[in-house]
Amino acid sequence: MSAPFIVAPHRVSCKAVTIEDIDRVLYDAEFMKELIKYPCVGLAHPQINDKDPLQFFITDIQLVINPIVLSHTDALIESDESCVTFPDYSPAVVERWLRIKVQYQTCDNNTLTIHVEELFGTEAIIFQHETDHLNSIYCYDKSLKEYHIIQ
Ligand SMILES: [Zn+2]
């Protein structure tokens, strides 16, 4: 059974966050922090909003806005991934980039601040999983095992 307020899988595209969206981002992020207490390490806005989702996700430590993977090394890693949108599925086995360079924004004093950094291993996997959500891609779409979900 799904955690409360997690919406069914969908392919509604996410709008980039602008400064006008900050109040809504902060409000929804607070709400999402409560949901992340379910067994998960990240939650993307389209997982709770299938009407007008925005491009941000949260982890247990951070609010990540307008994330982009800028580049990656060639090394891949096989990752066993679960997703709270699919509580009844066994983990997907997904190939992820082991090391990525990313850009994203944070909200500090009601302004958006750009960050560029390199992520490795688990941090890189979480970033890719959650950024995929913002591009209407689920880990089960990329699974090396066979799954059939929504088109
Ligand atoms: Zn997920």
Q: Hey, where are the domains in the chain?
A: 19-141
- Residue 147 or residue 141, greater confidence: 141
User: How far apart are the C-alpha atoms of 140 and 146, rounded to whole Å?
Assistant: 8
Catalytic residues: 130
How remote is the CA of residue 140 from the centroid of ligand 1, in Å? 9
65-91 residue pLDDT tens: 999 999 999 999 999 999 999 989 999
How remote is the CA of residue 22 from the centroid of ligand 1, in Å? 23
Q: Taking 90 as the threshold, does the pLDDT of residue 5 lie above it? A: no
User: How far apart are the C-alpha atoms of 35 and 48, rounded to whole Å?
Assistant: 10
Arithmetic mean of pLDDT, 95-121: 96
Under CATH, which architecture does the 19-141 domain have? Alpha-Beta Complex (3.90)
15-68 residue pLDDT tens: 999 999 999 999 999 999 988 876 678 999 999 999 999 999 999 889 999 999
How remote is the CA of residue 30 from the centroid of ligand 1, in Å? 18
* 69 within 8 A of 118, measured Cβ to Cβ: no
